[in-house]
Structure 1
Amino acid sequence: MLNLILHTPNAGRFYRVEISDNLFGEYTVLREWGLHGCAGSQCLRWFSNLRDAVTAAESARRRAQKRGYLLIEAGAAHAA
């Protein structure tokens, strides 16, 4: 559904936040971070509604930007 990618200039680090839904009507927020070109760390949280998932994703984005990450890509997937 929503994919945010952040990176740090001159440091080669990335931070990704993704919101998606599943077949059970739940929403997940995936956070992934690490160095470009290496396997990153991940954290996956489930939410029962979209509002809570978006709040968690926005909170993660704000924290990453306070630590010096810049938003380089934001995209939404369109359901067919």
Structure 2
Amino acid sequence: MLQALLYRTGKARPLFYRVEISRNLFEEASVTREWGAVGGTPRTITSCHTDLRAASQVADTYRQRALQRGYIRDTVPLHLAKQTPG
């Protein structure tokens, strides 16, 4: 399993976008996209591909589009960054 997790802040609620490549039961490569508001119910779409190369190209296209829409890779997850010490 390989995934990219991106965040977008600056709106009323922070948003996330996740792209994951994994193998399914039929030995195909699946690309799963999940997005929505942090803490909310996400939307999910999965597509199947015959080989890992095709799945990787599709996943990279989705990741690039998300980056163009203002999502960024964050080294500290939002739910941890907002916690107060103590």
- Specify which of 9, 18, 36 is matched with residue 20 of structure 2: 18
- Specify which of 49, 52, 55 is matched with residue 53 of structure 1: 55
SS in 1 for 2:59: helix
Taking structure 1 as the reference length, the TM-score comes to 0.85
- Specify which of 30, 33, 49 is matched with residue 31 of structure 1: 33
Task: Compute the RMSD of aligned alpha carbons.
Answer: 1.2
Gaps of 5+ in 1: 74-80
Higher strand share: 1
Q: Return the letter of the residue paired with 1:8.
A: R
Gaps of 5+ in 2: 76-86
Q: Which structure 1 residue ranges, 4+ long, deviate > 4 Å from structure 2?
A: none
Count of residue pairs the alignment pairs up: 73
Residue matched to 1:7 = 7
For 1:30 and 1:22, how far apart are their aligned partners in 2?
11
Identity of aligned residues (%): 41
Taking structure 2 as the reference length, the TM-score comes to 0.79
